Structure formats: C-alpha cells, structure tokens
C-alpha cells in the first residue's frame, strides 16, 4: 500500500543498498516513530501497559531487510522511549497479535507481515487497544504523526540496544498456552475428533502456520494432519508456488492434492503465509478435488457454529443477543440463515478492520458475536481474536468435516443442504489487473455517467437494475435521503448494483494490490433455485462488468 497508517501496509524491498543507508529501512523507522508519538498522545498509561510486536518469516536478502529485523527496530523505537514491548521471539500467525493485545490489555499491536503478497513485499499491520485493526480517525492521526517525525532518532538503527532491557518481554510461551486453552472452548465433539477416520493434509505455503495448526489439532483431540513436506517450513522465496495465496485455488494446492492422494486424505487445509486465511478442498466421489470458495466455506462455518451454539443453548431468548457479520461484498447466506433462525446479521465495509471493530462494539454491549467472514477466505470463528484467524478456522473446519462423516455426509453435501434449507446463493468473484490510476478513475466515472451525467446504468442486458450504492460518493438510492449508511471514502472506488431478480454485483478497487475486483451473487428464496453450477451468474456478471469496464 502507498500509505503507512492504514490497518496494514505493504511495500517492496529496496535492493542493492547498504543496510545502514537503506531507504526502505528508513521508511520503516519513520512509521515506528510516528506511531510511537501518536500512541503517546492517545494513552496516558502507555508506559505502564505497553504494546506487542510480532513478525512473519519474510526476508529480502538484497536489501538486508526481513520481518524479524523490522520488528526489532520497531521494538527499539518504543523501548528507547520508555515503553514496554512484548516482542515475540519467533514467528507467529498474524492473529496472535490482536489476541495478545486483548489478553494482556495492551495499548496497541504491530505485526510485520505482507500476508500473501509477492515475496518482495513486506507490510506493517496495526491494531488498537480494542484488539481490532485501526480505522478513522486513528489512521489519519498516525499518518500525520509520521509526517511530523521524519528525522531519525539517535541510535534508531541499533537494535542491540534492547538486549537485556527490562522493558523487553517475550510473551511467546504464555500466549501460546493461553491461546490454545481458549481455543479448546470451541471444541464441541472431542470424542468424535479422537476417533475420526477422516484424514487431513495441511499446508502452510512456506509460511508460519505449520507448528500452530499442529497445536490446534492437538487441542481438539485430533491426530496431527499430514503436512506437505515441501511447504511445511518457512521460506521467504515461496519456491513451490507462483503466488503464495491459497485463494488462487488449485494452482497453489498441487502438492497438497498429491500428498492427499498418496495418504488417502479427503480434506486439504491451506493457510496463507501469515496464517490468517484458510482455504479448504475436499476430494469428491468423482476423484476430482473441489476447492470451496470463501463464500461457500463461510456458509459451512456459519451453519456449523450456529448449529453447535443451538445445541448448547436451548433458551431461544438468547437469540436476541446473537450476531453474525460479513463484509458487504461477501455472500448474503448468513442473512438468509439469520432470517430463518431468528438471530441478528449485519454487514460492514470490506475488510476485517470493519468487522473486528463492529464485533467489539457489539461485545461491549453484551452481545454474542458468533461468527464473521469475508469472501477472501477470512474467518473469525472465535471472538477472542477480533480479526480473521486461519489457525482456529482450520481446526474448526476439521471438526465440522469429522462430525459430518459420522452422518455419512461430505462438506459438499452439507453445503447443498444449507442451500436447500436457506436458499441458493450462487456467487462469482474475480478481478482485473490495472496499474494505471487514470484508467481506474475513468472506468468508475463511466459507470457514474453511463447514460448522461450522474446517471448510472438502469439495465444489464435483460436484467433490470433496482438499486445503486456508491460508497465513493456516498450515494444510495435505497435510502430516503439517498445517502449511504455504510461509511464512505473518496480515496477508494466501490459501486454496488442490486437487480430486481435478487442479484447483486459490486466493483471496487483493492487497497493492497493493483486490482479492480468484482463480486456477484444470485440469491434465491428457500424452495427456489437458480442453476446450481453458477453458469448463468458467471456469464451475466462477467459480461455485464466487462461491458461496463470498456473505456
């Protein structure tokens, strides 16, 4: 990303420079200084409570930069200002940082990671004291503080200063123990897990997830999953994949499928390199592998967590305080389940920074936030982490598959049963690569002035467009005052078209990549169905969006 003080930033390393003069490192130090000064203004007890910092396994040898070094430099910045730092001694999944913020009641958290970005990138992800990613006004405040602290502090480059400091603390052992103890509370069928015949393969895609998913399986009473040996250990070169992103599907899972076929495993679980996302694939009776989309796995996990909750809570009055969340570009399947079952559903803007903060607001009001997800394979199954968590999602998915096996059901069969009961939700999401900001702006302006100035499209082929929501301009024609309810931002592009037949299509720009993303969904009420292979949805959503994108 271009700006430092968003919830997460990502930028390429700077090759060929002396380490002490490395412009890339200098930029990281500016972020550290600005964030430190902003926290000092916001928290009078910062020097009592402190912050947590952790890192993934990324490294960029040409520039001498790596996540651990950047984490230690961040710790140096804070410790030299008298602020306690809980610095993990080894790599961790990203969700361990927001977990630590809440568990230790800290002021903030920093995670050095670029998640599933290309190998040359790295990033800086920031959490507030509520355990969620930062939003406005803190993002703007931090950006301003960075601009006001451009000059390097004395000895800022010397991370040896923190060795032996009483302000430096390693939370690794205690947090590992408490995280997995908390995770055990979401195990509903330990005896099933111990006895299951379902076999699992896990890949961490050269990232940090292996050790932690193994521990999660142990916490749930499972035998350990088979780990893909070529991808088990951290490797910042990501040598076996073109992109270290399991959201890309089968191309990233080739080695996992081969191992699963060899070991007769039915389920593949794949984390991205910082283990906050999860992809799941299942061997079909035909012998083919089905990789579930983020929306499909969201439907399965939402159904499972509600079903498990309902078994433990026979008092139906508790439904009034039960919530599930998803992002506005994700499937509306949770809304359909909520309408039939009687709990609450809310949608937020795209990204877990919005869902995490909304979940915390609800929790502080005494509500029970059972589940949240986004279509980009991110799942919050346990509210002790107010962000997506691929570790907990992996083991909860394994328990779901094992429980279904006792009923002679597969994940695919259960997904179909969910659609039969709550209505088919057929989705299609993809993206276009575009590096030219001028082209992107022109594309979205064409949509806003499709049929004359300030006139959005009224039809898509033979389909009538019933509603327009533009979260760049703040326009929403479904509201009496035509003003959008969700937060708006002029710095990003996002337009949603709602069709008279129940379809929804959204286009938006990515905050981290040069992509124009599109999402479409056809929703049928229970008892009705569209073509279940999604071909109609795919064809019309793709044709519509390509036609509108022509500049």
Residue-range domain boundaries for the chain: 4-174, 186-422, 424-550
- Across the range 235-257, mean pLDDT stands at 93
Q: Which residues pair with 270 in a beta bridge?
A: 203, 279
The residues, any chain, with a CB within 8 Å of residue 501's CB and separated by 6 or more, are 463, 464, 522
| Per-residue pLDDT reduced to its tens digit, 87-105 | 999 999 999 999 999 999 9
* Residues 247, 182 contacting (CB under 8 angstroms): no
Active site residues: 115
DSSP secondary structure code for residue 251 in this structure: G
* Residue 352, φ and ψ in degrees, nearest 5: -75, -10
Q: Which helix H or strand E contains 180, and what residues bound it?
A: helix 172-184
CA distance 211 to 457: 51
Give start and end residues of each alpha helix (H) in 365-410.
390-406
Token pair for residue 302?
């939402």
CATH T-level assignment (fold) for domain 424-550: TATA-Binding Protein (3.30.310)
Minimum mean pLDDT among 42-46, 208-212, 245-249, 403-407: which range?
A: 245-249
Intrachain domains 4-174 and 424-550 with the same fold: no
Q: Cα separation of 121 and 272, whole Å?
A: 15
User: Strand, helix or coil at 249?
Assistant: helix
Give the pLDDT confidence of 417-459 residue by residue, as tens digits: 999 999 999 888 888 899 988 898 899 999 899 887 878 989 8
CB 290 within 8 A of CB 284: yes
pTM for the structure as a whole: 0.90
**Residue 530: per-residue pLDDT:** 52
Is pLDDT of 534 > 50?
Answer: no
Superfamily name and number for 186-422: Alpha-D-Glucose-1,6-Bisphosphate, subunit A, domain 3 (3.40.120.10)
Q: What is the CATH number of domain 4-174?
A: 3.40.120.10
Question: Residue 502: what pLDDT?
Answer: 81
Conformational region of residue 155, where left means phi above 0, alpha means psi within -120 to 50, and beta covers everything else = left
- Chain-centroid distance of CA 245 in Å reads 12
For residue 451, count CB atoms less than 10 angstroms from its CB and return exposed for 0-12, middle for 13-18, buried for 19 or more.
exposed
């Amino acid at each position: 990303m271009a700006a430092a003080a968003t919830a997460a930033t990502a930028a390429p390393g700077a090759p060929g420079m002396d380490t002490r003069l490395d412009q890339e490192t200098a930029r990281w130090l500016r972020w550290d200084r600005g964030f430190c000064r902003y926290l000092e203004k916001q928290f009078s007890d910062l020097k009592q409570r402190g912050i947590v910092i952790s890192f993934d396994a990324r490294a960029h040898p040409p520039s001498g930069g790596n996540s651990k070094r950047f984490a230690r430099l961040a710790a140096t910045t804070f410790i030299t200002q008298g602020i306690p730092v809980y610095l993990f001694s080894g790599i961790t999944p990203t969700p361990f940082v927001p977990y630590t913020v809440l568990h230790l009641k800290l002021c903030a958290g920093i995670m050095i990671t670029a998640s599933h970005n290309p190998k040359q990138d790295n990033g800086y992800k920031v959490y507030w004291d509520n355990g969620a990613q930062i939003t406005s006004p803190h993002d703007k405040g931090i950006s301003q503080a960075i601009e006001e602290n451009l000059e390097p502090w004395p000895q800022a480059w010397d991370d040896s200063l923190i060795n032996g400091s009483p302000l430096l603390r390693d939370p690794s052992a205690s947090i590992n123990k408490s995280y997995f103890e908390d995770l055990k509370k979401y195990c509903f069928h330990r005896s099933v897990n111990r006895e299951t015949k379902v076999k699992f393969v896990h890949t961490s895609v050269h990232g940090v997830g292996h050790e932690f998913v193994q521990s999660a399986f142990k916490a749930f009473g499972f035998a350990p999953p088979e780990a893909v040996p070529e991808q088990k250990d951290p490797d910042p070169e990501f040598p076996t994949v073109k992109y270290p992103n399991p959201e890309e599907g089968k191309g990233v899972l080739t080695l996992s499928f081969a191992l699963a076929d060899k070991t007769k495993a039915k389920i593949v679980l794949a984390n991205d390199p910082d283990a906050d996302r999860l992809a799941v694939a299942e061997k079909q009776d035909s012998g083919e592998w089905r990789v579930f989309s983020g929306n499909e796995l969201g439907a399965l996990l939402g159904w499972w967590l509600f079903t498990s909750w309902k078994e433990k809570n026979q008092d139906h009055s508790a439904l009034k305080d039960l919530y599930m969340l998803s992002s506005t570009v994700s499937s509306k399947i949770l809304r359909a389940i909520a309408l039939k079952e009687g709990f609450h559903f809310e949608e937020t803007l795209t990204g877990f920074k919005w869902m995490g903060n909304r979940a915390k607001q609800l929790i502080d009001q005494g509500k029970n936030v059972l589940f949240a997800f986004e279509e980009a394979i991110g799942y919050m199954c346990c509210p002790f982490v107010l962000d997506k968590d691929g570790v907990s999602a992996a083991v909860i998915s394994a328990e779901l598959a094992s429980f279904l096996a006792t009923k002679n059901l597969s994940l695919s069969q259960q997904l179909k049963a969910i659609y039969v009961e709550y209505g088919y939700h057929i989705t299609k999401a993809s993206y276009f690569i575009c590096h030219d900001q001028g082209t992107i702006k022109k594309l979205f302006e064409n949509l806003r002035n499709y049929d004359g100035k300030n006139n959005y499209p009224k039809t898509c082929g033979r389909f009538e467009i019933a509603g327009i929501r533009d979260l760049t301009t703040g326009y929403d024609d479904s509201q009496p005052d035509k003003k959008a309810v969700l937060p708006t931002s002029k710095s990003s592009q996002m337009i949603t078209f709602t069709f008279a037949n129940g379809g929804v299509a959204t286009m938006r720009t990515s905050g981290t990549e040069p992509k124009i993303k599109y999402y479409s969904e056809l929703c049928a009420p229970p008892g009705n169905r569209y073509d279940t292979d999604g071909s109609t949805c795919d064809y019309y959503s793709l044709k519509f969006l390509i036609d509108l994108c022509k500049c």
